[in-house]
Amino acid sequence: MPIDFTLSELQREIQANASAFAERFLAPVAAKVDRITDPWEAFVATREAYREMAHAGFTKCFIPIEHGGLGFSMIDIAIAAEELTRIDVNVPTTLLATGLSLQPILQRGTSEQKARFLPDFVNDTEGDLLAAFAFTDVGGGANFDSEQPPAGIQTIARREGDYWVINGQKHYTTNGTGWNKKGAHLYLAVCRTDRTKAAGESLAVIAVPGNSPGIEVVDVYDKLGHRGTVTPAINFENVHVPIDNLIGTTGTEAKKLVAGAFSWTAALIGAACVGVMRAAFEYALDFARREKRQGPVPVIEYQSVGYMLADIKMRVEEARYLTWKACHYLESTGGKGQELAIMTKVRCSELAVQTVYDAMRVVGVESYTKFTPLERLMREAMVFPLYDGGNQGVRRRQLHEMMMQPGYHSMLAAKGDPAPWE
């Protein structure tokens, strides 16, 4: 069977519907939240758009059909995400954060756990439920899996009878406030069960209902971009949850669970990068076609501008097809093909920053003002290399570690073969 990048009729429908939805519901949000100075108020201003997204079915697109969701493939989600993020990054990021948080349950949860935790999100008629991945400790997250205790995750889940008792401080916990600063509907907390043991023995991912006593929203961080997403600090103080809220097992499986969840987002962040890059390219192209800047012809007719636009467009296409390939590879291997997902996160995020900057160079100094959307797009793009596992501290390290595996060879991803060590 030949390799074919032709979109199916369903995918064309997804693309068209996502584009129309973004123009109708997200465009007003993008303009509004960027003018709000208070980070909490900016997030709350996205609530109605998020509800509309839920009513349109986007919030359950990543949940399998057998659990009541729409069962979109990762490529389907990437196609929709590009159209949404071309208009607004904030609301789709809130959705992506919920998807990340549910990945441990979707990927490795028991049938009982899926039946217990997923229906709330499927049957959310108000469109208000948020999940949060409580991963990054206040002390950092790059060395969460350190094999040299007491280094590593400092959030501790101590076993007491039939309960885990969780204590620790997390930050950058996207969605962690919920819509009322009382907490998300569900947290997936990354912990250790024993401070004296390495991550390979003690790492754990535990589902924590948001109404559990002892969860406190401590702060809502102000940010340069992504003004309409919320990244709070969360304290867990003697939070009791049943022992069967542990997803998978502790130790090595928990490390794979975290890697699997972040590989899912890594691939899809590529689509968000493409959306932002497209928005920058389209603005710069339109500018170059209509503006003469006191010259005799539109500036697109000058090679210095035309060649820069050509370079920008090549980056957009490169990022899109790497994203699609990464999504297909990860899904077709049952999660055992994470290399391209990680590469996508690194490559597309760095391309996005360069692309928006070059679009600003086409437009000139006006792009540095709020007269154009480019200054906002630059602020949105700048976080892509830094969040969801920073490219330097986490993602390149992951690729490095893969290349040191005995079973690694350079054609694994190209052939679509699963990685033997995952």
Alpha carbons within 13 angstroms on the beta-carbon side of residue 292 total: 4
Within this chain, do residues 89 and 135 fall inside the same structural domain, yes or no? no
Greatest CA span in the chain, whole angstroms?
Answer: 81
Total-model pTM? 0.95
**Predicted local confidence at residue 421, as pLDDT:** 81
Within this chain, do residues 263 and 385 fall inside the same structural domain, yes or no? yes
In a domain, 420, yes or no: no
Number of structural domains, the chain?
3
Within this chain, do residues 408 and 267 fall inside the same structural domain, yes or no? yes
**Predicted local confidence at residue 417, as pLDDT:** 94
**Predicted local confidence at residue 23, as pLDDT:** 97
The residue assigned the tokens 């350079």 is 410
Backbone phi, then psi, for 54, in 5-degree steps?
A: -65, -45
Backbone phi, then psi, for 293, in 5-degree steps?
A: 50, 50
Within this chain, do residues 274 and 386 fall inside the same structural domain, yes or no? yes
In a domain, 152, yes or no: yes
Q: Are 320 and 352 in contact (CB under 8 A)?
A: no
Nearest to 119 by CA among 70, 71, 68: 68
SS3 at position 176: coil
Q: Are 218 and 234 in contact (CB under 8 A)?
A: yes
> In b/e form, how buried is each residue of 68-84, taking b as 16+ CB within 10 angstroms?
ebbebbbbbbbbbbbbb
Domain boundaries, position 93 = 9-122
Q: How far apart are alpha carbons 254 and 261 in whole angstroms?
A: 11
Residue 385: partners with Cβ closer than 8 Å, 6 or more residues away: 346, 349, 350, 353, 391
Within this chain, do residues 275 and 410 fall inside the same structural domain, yes or no? yes
Within this chain, do residues 302 and 169 fall inside the same structural domain, yes or no? no
3-state percent helix, strand, coil for the chain, nearest multiple of 5: 55, 10, 35
Omega within 30 of 0 (cis) for the link into 385: no
**Predicted local confidence at residue 2, as pLDDT:** 62
CA distances from 24 to 16, 93, 277 (A): 12, 18, 20
Q: Are 257 and 108 in contact (CB under 8 A)?
A: yes
Backbone phi, then psi, for 318, in 5-degree steps?
A: -55, -50
In a domain, 86, yes or no: yes
> What token pair was written down for 402?
């893969």
Within this chain, do residues 19 and 160 fall inside the same structural domain, yes or no? no
In a domain, 78, yes or no: yes
In a domain, 114, yes or no: yes
Within this chain, do residues 190 and 325 fall inside the same structural domain, yes or no? no
Q: How far apart are alpha carbons 400 and 385 in whole angstroms?
A: 17
- Domain boundary among the residues 104, 122, 140 is at 122
pLDDT tens per residue across span 89-131: 999 999 999 999 999 999 999 999 999 999 999 998 888 899 9
- Domain boundary among the residues 248, 277, 302 is at 248
Provide the 10 A C-beta neighbour count for residue 249: 13
Q: In this structure, what CATH number is given to the domain that contains residue 62?
A: 1.10.540.10
Beta bridge partners of 215: 236
What residues in the chain have per-residue pLDDT under 50?
none
Q: In this structure, what CATH number is given to the domain that contains residue 308?
A: 1.20.140.10
- Domain boundary among the residues 87, 103, 122 is at 122
Instruction: Return the axis-axis angle of helices 90-108 and 47-55, rounded to nearest 10°.
Output: 50
Q: How far apart are alpha carbons 37 and 189 in whole angstroms?
A: 30
How many residues belong to the chain? 422
**Predicted local confidence at residue 63, as pLDDT:** 96
In a domain, 323, yes or no: yes
Task: Supply the DSSP symbol for 411.
Answer: T
Beta bridge partners of 233: 219
**Predicted local confidence at residue 348, as pLDDT:** 98
Q: How far apart are alpha carbons 207 and 131 in whole angstroms?
A: 10
Within this chain, do residues 191 and 214 fall inside the same structural domain, yes or no? yes
Nearest to 112 by CA among 243, 213, 260, 204: 243
In a domain, 2, yes or no: no
Q: Are 338 and 331 in contact (CB under 8 A)?
A: no
Alpha carbons within 13 angstroms on the beta-carbon side of residue 314 total: 7
Nearest to 211 by CA among 186, 238, 234, 246: 186
> What token pair was written down for 305?
């501008």
Positions marked catalytic: 388
SS3 at position 350: helix
In a domain, 422, yes or no: no
Within this chain, do residues 62 and 193 fall inside the same structural domain, yes or no? no
Q: In this structure, what CATH number is given to the domain that contains residue 148?
A: 2.40.110.10
Within this chain, do residues 101 and 139 fall inside the same structural domain, yes or no? no
Within this chain, do residues 73 and 155 fall inside the same structural domain, yes or no? no
β-strand pairing of 232-242 with 156-160: unpaired
